[in-house]
Amino acid sequence: MILRRIGVLSMAKIWGAMYCALGLIFGAIIAIFAVMGSTFAQQAASGSTPKFVTALFGVGAVVFVPLLYGFFGFLMGLVGAAIYNGLAALIGGIELDLR
How do the domains of the chain map onto residue ranges? 2-95
- The pLDDT of residue 63 is 86
Model pLDDT for residues 29-47, shown as the tens digit of each residue: 888 887 777 666 666 566 5
Distance in angstroms (rounded) separating the CA atoms of residues 19 and 72: 8
CA dihedral 31, 37, 40, 42 (to 10 degrees): -80
Average pLDDT over residues 16-38: 87
Output 3 or 84, whichever has higher pLDDT. 84
Output 57 or 73, whichever has higher pLDDT. 73
Mean pLDDT of the chain: 85
**pTM to 2 decimals?**
0.74
Distance in angstroms (rounded) separating the CA atoms of residues 16 and 11: 8
- The pLDDT of residue 3 is 87
Output 35 or 77, whichever has higher pLDDT. 77
Q: Are residues 2 and 93 in contact, defined by beta-carbon separation less than 8 angstroms?
A: yes
Give Cα 59 to chain centroid, integer Å: 16
Q: Are residues 20 and 67 in contact, defined by beta-carbon separation less than 8 angstroms?
A: yes
Distance in angstroms (rounded) separating the CA atoms of residues 70 and 15: 8
Least confident of 29-33, 37-41, 57-61, 65-69: 37-41
Q: How far apart are the first and last CA of the chain?
A: 10
